[in-house]
Amino acid sequence: MGKRVKTGYPGVYGTPHATRKHGIKPDLYIEITYRLDGKKKWEGLGWMSQGMTPLKASKILMDLKEAHRTGHGLRTVAAHRELAKEEAEERLEAEKVAAREATTFEEFWLNVYWPLQREKSARSIATEASLWKLWIAPQLADVALMKFTPFQLEKVKQVMLKAGKSPKTIKYAFGVISQIWSLAQRDGYVFTPFPGGQVRLPQQDNKRQRFLTPQEARLLLEYLAERSPLSHDMAVVSLFSGMRFGEIASLEWQDVDFPDGRILIRDPKNSQNRYAFITGEIAAVLRRHHSGQRSGLVFVSRTGGRIDRISKAYTRVVDELFNEGVTDPRLRVCFHTLRHTYASWLVQKGVDLYSVKELMGHSDFKMTTRYSHLAPEGLRKAAKVVEGSLGDGVSPKVGVVMRGPWPT
């Protein structure tokens, strides 16, 4: 850069670039000079090739001098720049807020929510995609998240009810919408609680009532052994431990403690780790799959990865054996029936409900009490414990000896 030169405007100078031209003349870097608090101050404004001119610089200098004279306004170019920067940042933030406030369910689903669902099982992904396409998107796709109301959620419910969808399916759809909302809250798109609590879900008793007798369980295992040995082995583990399909599919060898006879179930459905115990039946299955490895999945798919869904062979077998003509889902046999059977057998054999709760990993004792009706003899025996506490031959009216038979 060369030496500063006057521009013809008082207090405005230009420094020529050594090589760069602006038109036919050297490009000039424009500066102004003025006194601030009695001291001479220089401030650069920019190159002529970038739009700065001596005339613009002169007007800026006049504004600064007026601020100095009156005591109102910004007194330096640096202060103007800082203000402009802050205003630009505020505008940008306002634009971001406006864009977020205008974000629709569909935009959020496509750009934020859906890309994060890859870690879910293939079955869950397929179910959510179907619920979104068929029931959620038609009602909510164009609705801005910030303008979402319970009324719109009610519309989703009513459309699904009219189409004959079960309460369980409607609840699943609400669950997906709730997940979208939670993620939107996390990322600052919405700031209010999910309005689902203001919409009453249709109620239905979906608790499975069907469990297998020992004879039915033997028949099932015989068929599975012939058609799908892997399904047979996973069924045995569930039948004798109460483990869910997902827990069995995720089971790794480092969680199997052969010496102690226990299996650690990590990160189950209710998020509370628990232990299952290795019975003789389970031990036989594990031995067939164990070849000395200390890590990795116990049960693997044909490609060597995690099994992400119940085999079609299992479904075909239970349909053939137990589900023909059965329309009530609570009475149909599925893989979860094995877990239900395990709990039912425990209660029938006199195991107390607290122990059943711990073995099943129930988070709420109410889930366990559904099995209490299977132990009438156990309850009768428990009730008889207090019999005779008043002493032999003493009636409930203390001190009066009963004579003759008990009145009827």
Residue 398 lies inside a defined structural domain of this protein: no
Out of 128, 163, 198, a domain closes at: 198
Note the pLDDT of residue 75.
Answer: 80
Identify the CATH number of the domain in which residue 372 sits. 1.10.443.10
Note the pLDDT of residue 37.
Answer: 80
Out of 140, 165, 198, a domain closes at: 198
Domain count, the chain: 3
- Do 30 and 111 lie in a common domain? no
- Do 141 and 220 lie in a common domain? no
- Do 313 and 244 lie in a common domain? yes
Residue 44 lies inside a defined structural domain of this protein: yes
- Do 172 and 45 lie in a common domain? no
Out of 149, 164, 198, a domain closes at: 198
Residue 178 lies inside a defined structural domain of this protein: yes
Residue 33 lies inside a defined structural domain of this protein: yes
- Do 251 and 357 lie in a common domain? yes
Q: How many CB atoms lie within 10 A of CB 222?
A: 12
- Do 185 and 123 lie in a common domain? yes
Given strand 25-36, what is the order of strands in its sheet? 5-6, 12-22, 25-36, 39-47
pLDDT tens over the chain, length 408 residues: 678 999 999 999 999 998 999 999 999 999 999 988 888 889 899 999 999 999 999 999 998 888 888 888 788 888 888 877 887 888 787 777 777 788 999 999 999 999 999 888 888 899 999 999 999 999 999 999 999 999 999 999 999 999 988 888 999 999 999 999 999 999 989 989 999 889 988 876 556 678 899 999 999 999 999 999 999 999 999 999 999 999 999 999 999 999 999 999 988 876 688 899 999 999 999 999 998 888 999 999 988 899 988 999 999 999 999 999 998 888 899 999 999 999 889 888 888 888 888 888 887 777 777 776 676 666 666 666 677 777 765 555 545 454 555 554
54 and 30 Cβ atoms separated by less than 8 Å: yes
The helix/strand/coil state of 44 is strand
244 and 339 Cβ atoms separated by less than 8 Å: yes
Residue 119 lies inside a defined structural domain of this protein: yes
- Do 188 and 233 lie in a common domain? no
Nearest CA to 302 out of 293, 311, 290 is that of 311
- This prediction's pTM: 0.52
- Do 17 and 52 lie in a common domain? yes
- Do 229 and 330 lie in a common domain? yes
**Domain, as residue range, for 270:** 214-380
Note the pLDDT of residue 109.
Answer: 95
Nearest CA to 13 out of 48, 54, 52, 49 is that of 54
Identify the CATH number of the domain in which residue 111 sits. 1.10.150
Residue 404 lies inside a defined structural domain of this protein: no
Given strand 274-277, what is the order of strands in its sheet? 256-257, 262-265, 274-277
- Do 159 and 188 lie in a common domain? yes
Note the pLDDT of residue 394.
Answer: 56
Nearest CA to 316 out of 217, 231, 210 is that of 231
User: E strands within 146-261?
Assistant: 256-257
Note the pLDDT of residue 282.
Answer: 95
- Do 239 and 372 lie in a common domain? yes
- Do 262 and 375 lie in a common domain? yes
Residue 392 lies inside a defined structural domain of this protein: no
Nearest CA to 143 out of 202, 184, 171, 92 is that of 184
Q: How many CB atoms lie within 10 A of CB 261?
A: 14
